[in-house]
Copies of this chain bind each other. A is one copy, B any other.
């Protein structure tokens, strides 16, 4: 219960730049909230809380994860994939195909 998020002090100056990079700190905050929510679910089970209340809390975690996924996907499509398409060649179709696989997983 006392785990500390790896903060990776030595982020390289050459860190890859992705669609989500400008919003990285906001994503990290949201993910830490989600991690805390997941810990909260475990605590509810630990404390023998009522099944339906546990399910409600899990639904909240799932919704928060879906919102993060949709944000990351949007950033990816609007930046990485659009840029790949502008560069031309096979890469754009490949990027789009790869994104499509992610969308299929998200829509399951």
Contact = CB atoms under 8 A, between A and B. Distances in A.
B42 A31 contact: yes
Interface residues on A, range: 35 or more
B107 A70 contact: yes
A39 B5 contact: yes
Interface in A56-78: 56, 58-59, 61-63, 65-66, 68-70, 72-78
Contact of A105 (B55, B65, B77, B83): B55
Contacts of A42: 5-6, 28, 31-32, 35
A27 to B, nearest CB: 5
A102 B62 contact: no
Contacts of A49: 16
